[in-house]
Structure 1
Amino acid sequence: MVFLSRRLFFAVLGGFILTVVAGTLYFLMRLREEVIASQMQMAELHARSLEDQLTQSLHVVDLSLSRVPGEQIDVSAALRLAPYIRSLSVLDRHGRILSSSNPENSGIIVPTEDFFPEQGDDILRIGSSRNGRDWNDRVGDGRRFIPAVREANGRLQMASLNPDYFINEFVHRVDDKTGVVQLLRYDGVLLISTDEKMLPDGKQVWRERLLAREFDTIDNARLGQRDYILSYRASRTYPLVLVVCLDRSVILAGWRSEALIYSIVVFAVLLGIAGLSVFYYDRMAEAAEERKKAERQLRLSASVYEASQDAFLITDEKAAIISVNRAFTRITGYTEDEVLGKNPKVLASGVHSSEFYAAMWKDILEKGYWQGEIVNRRKDGSTYPEWLSITTVRDHERITHFIANFADITVRKAAEEKIRYLAYYDTLTDLPNRRLLYDRLSQALSTAQRHSSYGALLFIDLDHFKNLNDTRGHDTGDSLLQQVALRLSTTIRVGDTVARIGGDEFVVLLEFLGENESLAARRAEKIAGKIRLAIGAPYLLDDREYHCTPSIGIALFTPQQTAAETLLKRADVAMYQAKSAGRNTVRFFDPEMQSLIERRVTLENELRDALHYKQFILHYQPQVDRNGRSVGVEALVRWQHPDGRIIPPSEFIELAEETGLIVSLGSWVLETVVARLSEWANDPERSHLSIAVNVSARQFRQPDFVEIVSRLVEAAGIDASLLRLELTESLLLENMEEAIATMTALKKQGVSFSLDDFGTGYSSLAYLKVLPLDELKVDQSFVRDMLFDEKNAAIARAIVNLGQNLGVTVIAEGVETDAQWQFLIENGCHSFQGYLFGHPSEM
C-alpha cells in the first residue's frame, strides 16, 4: 500500500513539473508574440510618420515647381523651404532643358519616358534614381539624385532631389542595425534604400499589394536571406510607397536572452521543489506510521461517553485523536476510523485567526480548561458553530490527554442570523442593504477622520435596465441583478463594501485610498474602471446573450467629517452626470452638477407645462426636386417658451425621451401634421406637398401606434401617401420583426416611410432589402463636406446609387450651396432639403 502511494506521489510530482514546463513554454511564446506585435505597431508608426513627412516634402517640391518662371530660375527661395532640392529646371516638350538654376544643366535632354506615371497634367511625376549630383554630373562619385517633373500651363518643370537628405531622415527613425527603410514608386521601382544590398520584392508583388491595400503590415516577409517585419504605406498624393523593414533576428534577440534566463531559473526552482517534496514525503510517511502504532494501544470507551448527545473527542498529549463517540460522527460526519491519529485541526474551518488559537491553547495549558464558541468544518465541507469545552488530563504534572466535548448550535445561530439578515441584507442579491451601508459608511467616515485617510463612495446605476424589465420580464431583470452583484463582490478589494440600495442601484464603499486627495481620486477611478469593465462583460439571460453597461458616480470623503446622507447624495449627483455624459462612464462629484440637476428638474416641469398649455409649434422646411420645385416639407417641432424664446429641439428632445414625454409630444406632432395636410388639400398650390414627420423609438414601439396613425388619417380624410414617417436605423434594428410588421400595416393604409440619417448608424445592407421603405435620407454630415472630402463624396454617391438600385427615392438634407446641389443632381439624387431652398418657418 505504501509502495502504491509512493507511485501516486511521484506521478503527481511529475505531472506538476510537466505542467510548469508547459506553462513556461506557453508564457515564453506569448511573450515572443507580444514582442512581434509591438514591433509591428512600431513599424506601422514609422511608415505612417515617414510617409507623412515625405508627402509634405514633395508638396513643397510641387509648390516650388508651380512657381518656376520661364527663365533665370532662382533656387535660393526654394532651398530655404526645401534643402533637399538641388536644382529647378524648365524643359520643352522634347525633354530638353531650356533653363535651370544649375546653368550646366542647360541643353541636356532628359528621358521623360522614364517618369511615373507616364503622363498627366498638373501631376508630380517621379523619375528613377540616377548617378551624379545632377544632370550635368556624368561621373557621379557615388552620389545620386532623383528627378521629379510636373506639366502645367503647356511646359515641363523639373526638380532634382537629393536622396541623401531623405536617407538621413530614414536612418534617424530606423537605424541600419535594426532594419531598412525603402522608397519605391507605385510600379515597384526602388528609389531610395538605407541598405543598398537589400533588394525589394518584385514589381508584380508590389502591384498586387497596392491593388489589395494602400497600407499594410506583414509580420514575416522574406527579403534576401533574412526575415523582416514589413510595413508599407502608399502616398495618396504622390505615386510613392514608403516601406519600413525591421529585422526579426535583431528584434527577437532580447527575447531569446530573457527566455534562456527564465528557463534556467524555472529549471532550478523545479529541481529544488522536487528534492524538498521527496524529503518531506518520506518524513510524513514515517510520522504517519508512528501515529498508527500509538492509536492501536489507546482504546477508551464508556457507555455514558457513547450515549451522550454532545460530541466527545479524546487526544493524546501530542493532540492526535485516539477516540470519538457516536455524537461526534453525527455532528461532523467523520467516522472514528477516519479521524484516528489525526489532529483536531481536521475540523478547522479557517474562520479563526492564529491569534485566536494561540489564546485558546494558552488557557488550556496554563489553566487546564477552555470554553467558548467556535466555528468548525464537517466532512462534507460545510461549516457549523459549536459550543466547545476542552479539559486537560494530567499524570502528576505531565499532560497525558485532552478531552473535548461540544454541541452543534447551528439551529440557534441560524435563528439569530435570520433576524440579522432580514434587517441588514438585500434578499435578492445577498448584498448589504441601505441600512447596513449607512452603518458601515458612518464607521468609515469616523475611521477616515481618525487616520487622516481619504475614502470614496461609488454610486452605480445600470443603463437601460428598465427596458430589460419591460421587454423580458422582472425574472430576467432579477437574474441580471444577481449576476451584477456577484461581479461587484469579486471585483472590489477585500475590506470594501458593496451594497444594493434599491432597483438597479448599487453602492461601493472604498476605504483607505490614501492620505492626499489626488492619490485617492486616482485609486477610486481605477477601481471604478475595473467595475465598469466587469459589469460590461456579456451576460447569459434565458440562454440569450445580453450586454449591460453602468453609469458610475464617485464622491470622495475627506478626513474632515461629512454626513453619510450628504455623501450619498453627492455620489448620486455624480452618477447622473455620468448618465448625461452618454452613459457607460465614470464621473466625480462636481458641486456645479448639483445646480445642473436642479435645472434639469426645472426643465422637466416646464416641459410638462408646455405640453399641457400647448406651447409647442411646428416649423416646416421645404423639400424640392432637381428642378427646384417644392415636393414636400419636413415638420420640425419648436418650443415657444413663455419668456419669448424659441427653443430648438436639441435642448429638450433628449429629456423628453428620458422622461417618456416624447410619446405625448409625438402624438401632438402627428395630429398637427395630419390637420395641416387636411387644410392643404383644399389649397391648389399645396395639395401635392407631402409632410415628413420624425417618429421616436418610444412612440413607434407603442402597441397601438398603427391604430393611432390609421385613425388620424381616416378622421382627417387625407391622402395617406402624403404622410411620410421618418425612422432612424437604431430604432429599426432594435426589433426588426416588430418594425417590419408595424411598417407593413401602415403601408397598407398608404403611409410612406423614410430612413433618416442613413449611413450614420450601424448601417447594414441586409435589412434594407426587407424593410418597406420609400426613401433614403442622406445625412447632412456627408453633404456638408462632400465637395472637399472625397470620402464623404463617395458615401453620398453610394447612398444615391443604393437608393436607385433598391427602387426608392433619395433625398439629401443640409444642402446650402449651388455647388452641393449641382453635385447631387449630377450623381442622380432625386430630392433636396436645406437652407439653399428655405429655412424652417411656420408657413
Structure 2
Amino acid sequence: MKEMVSAVVLLGWLMAILLVYGLRLRIAVYFLRASSTDQEHPRWLRLFVLTVFLTGCVWGAGGLLMFDGERPEQAAALAIVLSGVAAGCVTMLSALWWMVLFFILPIAIPLQLLFIFSDAPTHTMIGILLGVFVSLLIATSHRLGRLIHNNIELRLTMAARETQLIESENRYLSIFQHSPLGVLHFDRNGCVTDCNNKLLEILSIDPARLQGVSMRKGADADVVSAVQNALDKGAGYYEGTLLMPFLSNRAEGTPVRAFFNGVHSVDDEIVGGVVIVEDFTERKRNEEMIYRQANYDALTDLPNRRLFIERLEALCGKKQTETQRGLLMFLDLDRFKLINDTWGHATGDDLLVQVARRLERCLSEGDMAARLSGDEFVLLAMFEEETEATLEARAERYMHEVQQVLSPPYRLASHDTEVTPSIGYTCFTTADCDHEEVLKQADIAMYCAKTEGRARLCRYQPWMRDKMQ
C-alpha cells in the first residue's frame, strides 16, 4: 500500500498495531508471572477481551484508511488480507468462540459497508461475499469451540483417570507389599507371576525359585483343584499343610489357609488369579494347646475325665455291624493321702506320674488310660474277637497283667516305696451298654476291693451294688 496510501497513514497504523500487540504481550507476561490462584481472577479474561477488541478495531481502521473504491485491485487485495487475518484468528480464539466476534466484526463490518455502498458493481458482490464469509467464520468458530472444549474435557478426564489409576496402583502396591497375609498372582496356565514378601516369609523360599512355577504340577491335589476352580468358576479354597516340590522343609510343615480368586479381563474372561495365603501355624499351635488343656491332665499328660467320658460315650453309642467287647478298669492308690502328708505334694505328684507311665505300657491300639481326679485312674481296653464265653477269662488275664505292671516299688523321695492299688473292673459290649452305668460298675468294684483290705482286684458283680448301698 505504500504507493497508494500516504506514508503518515501507513506509519501511524503500523505504530498503532505494534502498540496494541505490545500491550497484549505485556499483559501476557504479567499473567504468566501471577500465582495460579491469581490467574483464576476474572479480570484477566476481561483484559484479554478488551485487547482483542482493540486489535480488531486497529485492523478495521486500517481497512477504512486504506480502502480506495476507484482502484479495484487495491480493494480486492485489502479484502483478501483482512479476510485472511480474520480467518486466522478463528483457530486462536475459538476456545471461547464468542470472543471471535470482538475481533472479526470490527474488521469486517466497516469493510463490508464500504464495498456494499461503493458505486462499482463488483464491490457490491464482494461486500455480500464478505458477509457470507464472516458468517461462515462465526459458525466455524462455534463448532471449533465445541471441539476444543470436548478435547479439553476429554484430556482432563483422561488425566483424572490416569491419576486415579496411578493412585489405585500405588494403593494396591502398598497393600500388596505390606499386607499381613501372603499374596500370590498366577496366570491362565496356573504359573506364578508375582508374590509379596509376606508370602516368601510364610513359605520360606527365595523369589527366584517361585517365579514361573506351575501350581498344577507336583503340588498337592487339593491345591491343583483350588487353582482349577479359580480359573473355571472364579473361586477356590485350600486349607492344610502345603506339599509342593519346590518348597523348603519348613514350608512343607506350615499349615495355611488359601483363598483362590479369578482375575477377569475387560471382556469378563478369567485371565489368571490371585491367592490370599494365611499362615495357620500360630493358630494351630494355640488350638492344639487349648485342646490339650481342655482334654488332657496337666500333671500326667493322660486324657482327663472329659475326654475319657466322650470316648466311652462314643463307644456305647456307636452302631456297629460287629459287636465289640471291652473292659473298663477303675484304679485308686492305697494310702495316697498318707504319702502326700508325709513326703509332701511334690512326691505325691511324682507317684501319680509314675503310675500314669506304667498304665501307658499296658495299652494296645484303641485302648485308653485316663486320670479322673486325684489318685483315681481308669483304663479302657477293647477286645476285637472275644466272644461272651471267652471274655471273662481274657479280661481276668489282662487285669492280672496290669496288676503286675503296677506292683513293683516306686522310687519316691530317693526311696523304693511299695504303693498298692485297689482295682475294680467290669466287662461290657458296645451294642447294649450305657457309658454311665459301665463307669459306675467299675467304680463299685473298686470300692469293694478297697473295703476288702486294699491291694485287691475285683470284678463287678450285681450283688456289690446292694452291699455298697
What range describes the TM-score normalised by the shorter chain of this pair?
Answer: 0.3 to 0.5
- The structure that is strand-richer by fraction is 1
RCO higher in 1 or 2 (8 Å CA, sep ≥ 6)?
Answer: 2
- The structure that is helix-richer by fraction is 2
The TM-score, its normalising length taken from structure 2, stands at 0.46
The TM-score, its normalising length taken from structure 1, stands at 0.28
- Higher CA-based Rg: 2
